[in-house]
Every structure is written in structure tokens, then in C-alpha cells.
Amino acid sequence: MPFGLLKYGLSKDYPFEKDADLPAPTALKRRYDVVIIGGGGHGVATAYYLAKYHGITDVAVLEKGYLGGGNTARNTAVIRSNYLTPEGVKFYSASVKLYEALSNEFDFNIMYSQRGQLTLAHTDATVRAFRQRAEVNKHFGGQTELIDPVDIAKLVPTLNLNPANLPVLAGLWHKDGATARHDAVAWGYAKGATQRGAELHQLTEVTGVDVKSGRVTGVDTNRGPVEAGVVIQAVAGHSAPMARKAGFELPLVAYPLQAMVTLPVKPFLTPLVSSSALHCYVQQTSRGEIVIGGGSDPYPLYNSRASLPLKESLLSSAVEMFPFLSEMRLLRQWAGITDMTTDYSPIMGLSPVENYYIDAGWGTWGFKATPICGKTMAELVASGGKVPELIKPFELSRFDRFKQVNEMGATAASH
Amino acid sequence: MKIMNCPLNGPRNISEFVYGGQVKAMPDVRDVSDTDWARYVFYEENDTGIVTEWWLHSPSSYWFIAERHNVTDEIIRTYPPEEIFKDRVEFSVSETDA
């Protein structure tokens, strides 16, 4: 190794250019078959599956900041499928299956770590709801069961079983629950997509969408106009303003979702633990930091400073669950702007504009859906607008027909 | 601590208040299409800038209207709903309609 370094030190060429994970930036072409707005996990995953399964490589991913720098960087990297509705469970289970194989598929370590996820019930009503979730999950092949406080204490010996005087009655133990490095997921997809010929253009902001007689023809960017056969928007928190550029509205409200992380300590916590009554979840990263997250802010805001009362409630709940956390120091706190739907399910598929597909309404459940979302959106594009069965329940028109998918298994929903 | 000025109770901690959605004009319930009703129920303006919203002072169950900037989180003005809603909305169906 030292000799190898010496060789590179004496060489005039930059040695890693050919091995670089991402190609150097190129000029923006005038036209692409497919333009994807948003270079987060969902955007690059769609480009990846378009190239891999459908041979569509004339694709540009336009990102106004940098790769995976938006909500892909801000989520708390929870991967689970223990939702409530059959539609939701089927969809997220497919995502978990894809995640499991992703590191091998990419030849790039996304640090996928299946530690299990435990949700605590503090009331009889929640225990009943959990029983239902466990059965729905098992029915669709997930590994979820209801466990009692004795088993909870064995799984997480450091947990306070009477947090805030709300005794833990039972737990929903989801063995498939996992975490992964969120940046690596975006990088892995971007690497795979660009190697197959798709282009990633960072610092390229879409400023307008061109629609002619009800059909999208291209987008305007800060680097000039681009013609496109198909346009997909995958812009998370700013979905509604982006859709407005294309001339239609989305039933979304933007709420901040906060999270924070402590200084790293020795490993003590294997599963991801969340409390349904305290609206708080705690997990330890592979680096040893404790990640604390919870529900959405109490009112809408387009500001990632977010509100103070929620910071207070998150921290006090975390300390109730693991009292010794009060001795630890916070490293940082942040928020992401989430696009919440009223039924806690995403909005995917067709839009009122022809050839303009939407991937929005990801609220607090976007990261875990990244692989399946990319795969199904790619299918939608490749088939020329035939909506895959898996995402049919999530179409935008469900709101007009009062056919919501009431997903109360979402983190932001009160269980 | 963030303070909101309740038109009934004066300045109080924001934690005493509950957000109740944007103020929207309700279509006439007697002749509205399902689609228009869905628009009214599920769609909000959702843009950056000053928004007019319903808020509830929870301890006193008092509903009022607030104008707030949804980027700076600055509360510009709060006032009783009587300023906008002058007439009572009658939901009961008369004998002849039924």
C-alpha cells in the first residue's frame, strides 16, 4: 500500500478517474427521452431501473442541489414494512425485499443492517391495532409478531418499561425492520444508473414545465430548456409547487419532520425502538450515535428550523424511554420538509398532464420505499403509462373518488 | 417559547393552540359535484408566503383566524372569525328538499 501511494504521488494523471463512482459533469443535451426532476433516492432509483430492466438510457436526472442532498439526506433511515393496509404492506414488503439484495446488486456497500424494529403499545386500543397489523403483515409474508413486556425487556434491557407513567403493555416486533446508510443508497443507484448511460446533472434547477395541449414537451432549467418525451417529478417536500409549474394541484401540505443525533457511544441498542404514545423513536447507528426522531411538527411550515415545542417533546420522550440519554450530548438537530397527504399514503402514477408522471406525497415514509418506488415508476414509463398493480391504489385521482388508503401505520399517524 | 395572540385570551404559549387548516371558501353543499367537494376537502393552497388559517385555543375551545407566514413562521395577525364569516351556515335540509 505505501508503494502504491508513492506511485500515485509521482504520477501526473489523476489515478482514480476511470474507477470513479460517478462520471464527470457533462453538457446538458437539448433533448432526452426521459427527464427526471429530482436527484434524490427516488429519482436516481427510477433512472437505474429504467436502464437496468427496460434498456432506456436516454435519461437525465436534474437535481437543483447535489445528489441525495434533500430529504434523502435528512431521513432517519428506517426500513420496515409493518404497515396497516394490505396495499401499504404489499408495497413496502416489496421494497424491503429489494433492499436486502441491494449491496450485492450495486457492488457498493449500503450498510444494510437488519436489526428488527420494535414499536411499543401503551394502551389496549393500540394493542388491538398492533394485533391487526401483525396479522396483515404475516398474511403478506412479513415477519411481525406481538410480544409481551418480558420479551421486550430481553430484547432491549436498557428500555424503561414505564415511560412517562405509560406502562408498556406489548410490542409489535418486526424482524424485517432494518436500517441502511441513506447516502449510500442514493450513491449506489446513481453509480448504477450512470454506468448504464443515464446522465445525472447536479446544480440544475427546473424552473418551469412546458405543456402543449395537455401534453408535456419539456422543462426549462437554469441551464436552458430541455425537450423531453416523458417527465417524472420526484421532488419530495416541494412537490406541490413543482406540480403547479406543470399546471395542476396536489392535495399535499408541507410539514417539517425533525430528527436529532447524539455523540457516538458504545453499542447498546440493537433494534430500532419506537413508542406509539410518546411519538418518538430511538435507534443507534452503526457509528454509535443515537438517532431520535418522531412525528411531524404540529403545524405546516416551509422552514427546516421547524418549531421548538416538538424538539422539547422529542427529547423528553427519548429520555423517558432511555433515562440515561439525559447524560448524553446532542451532536446536531435538523428537519426535512415533508409533503403530507391526508391518508398517509403516497401519490404515484399518472397526472392530469399527459406523459408527466408524479412520485410525491412521501411524507415520512419515502426512504423505505426508494427501491420499489424506482422500480414501479420505471415500469410505468417503460410501458408508456400503464400503471403497475402495486401502485394503482396510490393514484392521484383517488382523492376525487374518496378512495383514500388510510395508512395509520405511518410514523406520523397517531396509532 | 413562541407566543400566539388569542383574540379572546390574549398572548399565550403556542403549545396551547391547535392548527385547524387553511381558511377556504366552502362551496354550496346543496349543489356541489363530488369532485368539487373533494377539491374543497383535500386541497390546500400549499405555497410559500402568508397563509390564512384556522386555529383553536384548546383550553377555552375558542376558534379564530390567524395570518401567518409559512416560511418565517411569523404570526402577522389574529382575529375572531366574525370578521370574515358574517352569516351562519345552515346545514339542515328543509322538508321540501328531503
Terminal C-alpha separation, chain A: 54
Structural domain span for residue B35 = 3-83
Closest CB from A254, A307, A400 relative to B38: A400
Number of domains in chain B: 1
Tell me chain B's radius of gyration from C-alpha atoms. Answer: 16
Q: Which three cell numbers stand for residue A21?
A: 463512482
In-domain check, residue B91: no
Which stretches of chain A sit within 8 Å of chain B by CB? 240-241, 244, 249-254, 298-303, 305, 307-309, 342, 399-402
B35 contacts in A (CB within 8 Å)? 400
CA–CA dist A207, A220 (Å, integer): 5
CA–CA dist A219, A352 (Å, integer): 17
In-domain check, residue B94: no
Q: Which three cell numbers stand for residue A248?
A: 395542476
In-domain check, residue B96: no
Buried b (16+ CB within 10 A) or exposed e, A267-300: eebebbbbbbbbbbbbbbbeeebbbbbbbbbbbb
Q: Is A323 helix (H, G, I), strand (E, B) or coil?
A: helix
Interface mutation target, options B42, B68, B69, B74, chain A, most CBs of A under 10 Å: B42
In-domain check, residue B13: yes
Task: Report the gap between the CA of B47 and the closest CA in chain A (Å).
Answer: 6
A400 contacts in B (CB within 8 Å)? 34-35, 38-39
Residue whose C-alpha is closest to residue A47's, from A383, A375, A384, A390: A375
Query: Could you tell me the CA-to-CA distances from A121 to A125, A146, A167, A188, A278 in Å, in that order?
Result: 9, 10, 9, 36, 10
Residue whose C-alpha is closest to residue A89's, from A127, A121, A131, A135: A135
Q: What is residue A415's predicted lDDT score, i.e. its pLDDT? A: 39
A302 contacts in B (CB within 8 Å)? 48, 70-71
Domains of chain A by range and CATH? Answer: 27-115+177-251+342-415 (3.50.50.60), 117-175+253-340 (3.30.9.10)
Asked if residues A353 and A243 have their Cβ atoms less than 8 Å apart, the reply is: no
Closest CB from B19, B34, B72 relative to A299: B19
In-domain check, residue B88: no
CA–CA dist A246, A210 (Å, integer): 7
Average pLDDT over residues B36-60: 94
B19 contacts in A (CB within 8 Å)? 298-300
Global pTM exceeds 0.80:
yes
Report which secondary-structure segment, H or E, holds A96: helix A86-106
**Residue for cell digits 364569516?**
B85
Q: Is A29 left (phi over 0), alpha (psi -120 to 50) or beta?
A: beta
Closest CB from A251, A298, A302 relative to B71: A302
CA–CA dist A365, A410 (Å, integer): 7
Task: Report the gap between the CA of A361 and the closest CA in chain B (Å).
Answer: 13
In-domain check, residue B39: yes
Q: Which one-letter amino acid corresponds to residue A49?
A: Y
Q: What is residue A112's predicted lDDT score, i.e. its pLDDT? A: 96
Q: What tens-digit pLDDT sequence spans chain A (415 residues)?
A: 577 778 777 777 766 666 678 888 899 999 999 999 999 999 999 999 999 999 999 999 999 999 999 999 999 999 999 998 999 999 999 999 999 999 999 999 999 999 999 999 999 999 999 999 999 999 998 999 999 999 999 999 999 999 999 999 999 999 999 999 999 999 999 999 999 999 999 999 999 999 999 999 999 999 999 999 999 999 998 999 999 999 999 999 999 999 999 999 999 999 999 998 999 999 999 999 999 999 889 999 999 888 888 899 999 999 999 999 999 999 999 999 999 999 999 999 999 999 999 999 999 999 999 999 999 999 999 999 999 999 999 999 999 999 989 887 776 554 3
Q: What is residue A18's predicted lDDT score, i.e. its pLDDT? A: 65
Asked if residues A225 and A147 have their Cβ atoms less than 8 Å apart, the reply is: no
Asked if residues A160 and A65 have their Cβ atoms less than 8 Å apart, the reply is: no
Closest CB from A251, A302, A309 relative to B42: A251
Q: What is residue A411's predicted lDDT score, i.e. its pLDDT? A: 63
- Its ipTM equals 0.89
In-domain check, residue B37: yes
In-domain check, residue B93: no
Q: Which one-letter amino acid corresponds to residue A204?
A: T
Domain CATH code at residue B69: 3.30.2270.10
How many C-beta atoms lie closer than 10 Å to residue A266's C-beta?
A: 6
CA–CA dist A77, A13 (Å, integer): 38
Are A303 and B71 an interchain contact pair (Cβ–Cβ within 8 Å)?
yes
Q: What is residue A281's predicted lDDT score, i.e. its pLDDT? A: 94
- Chain A and chain B share a number of CB contacts under 8 A equal to 57
Q: Which three cell numbers stand for residue A27?
A: 453538457
Closest CB from B14, B44, B48 relative to A302: B48
DSSP secondary structure code for residue A70 in this structure = S
Tell me chain A's radius of gyration from C-alpha atoms. Answer: 22
Q: What is residue A14's predicted lDDT score, i.e. its pLDDT? A: 67
Are A298 and B18 an interchain contact pair (Cβ–Cβ within 8 Å)?
yes
In chain B, the largest separation of any two C-alpha atoms, in whole Å, equals 54
Q: Name the E strands within chain B.
A: 3-6, 10-13, 17-22, 50-57, 62-69, 75-79
